[in-house]
Amino acid sequence: MLAACQSPVAAESIVRAPIAKVQASEKGLQTAIFAGGCFWGIEGVYSHVKGVKSAVAGYHGGSRRDADYSAVSGGGTGHAEAVRIKYDPSVIRYDQLLRIFFSVGADPTQLNRQGPDRGTQYRSALVPTTPEQAKVARAYLAQIGKAGIWKDPIVTKVEAYSGFYPAETYHQDYMLKNPDAAYIVRWDAPKVKGLKTLYPVVYKADFTRN
């Protein structure tokens, strides 16, 4: 059976999320994890952001034992498809990464799904790796919940870190390797285009390879 993120569909609209009122003040190379549906698109978006040093597709939550694509795609392992990024906060702050996530990466009103992809493995979640990230993430979720930009309630959650397991090699740099794949063309390429349109100052044309 084909996994849902291999089925092409029309892309969702792009939204300009608000500037965060609570900004991060991190120093030194940092790590952040974002779950927002099929990890190809989230990896692709952040791989075009200045200051991002790496973007690794993988699985957050669940156990190491069943952190593989065939098991996770069944929806019963507790994992979420996620992306772990390493970034330089002197170039791009965590709160700016959050803004990008909600502007072009994931729809925060969709529960246990993103677009055509259904199941808890496609939930949208923020996984802070530091206390400051947790503070900024919770403040931003509260902020966008009151912003009135989305007509439906915000359902994205902050999840405690409970392990991240890199996905199989063929999932890494997937958008770069498969630019003509039907799913990439119709679902994920518009996200990168939205990043370039909304935030040209932080967009870079080169793809950050793993």
- Catalytic residues, which ones? 38
Give the Cα separation of 79 and 73 in Å (integer).
9
Question: Interior CA angle at 23 toward 22 and 28, to 5°?
Answer: 150
Q: How many CA atoms lie within 13 A of 5 on its CB side?
A: 25
What is the per-residue DSSP string for the chain?
Answer: ---GGGS--PPPPP--PPPPSS-----SSEEEEEEESSHHHHHHHHTTBTTEEEEEEEEESS-STT-SHHHHTTT-S--EEEEEEEE-TTTS-HHHHHHHIIIII--TT-TTEETTEESGGG-EEEE-SSHHHHHHHHHHHHHHHHH--SSSPP--EE-----EEEPPGGGTTHHHH-TT-HHIIIIIHHHHHHHHHH-TTTB-SS----
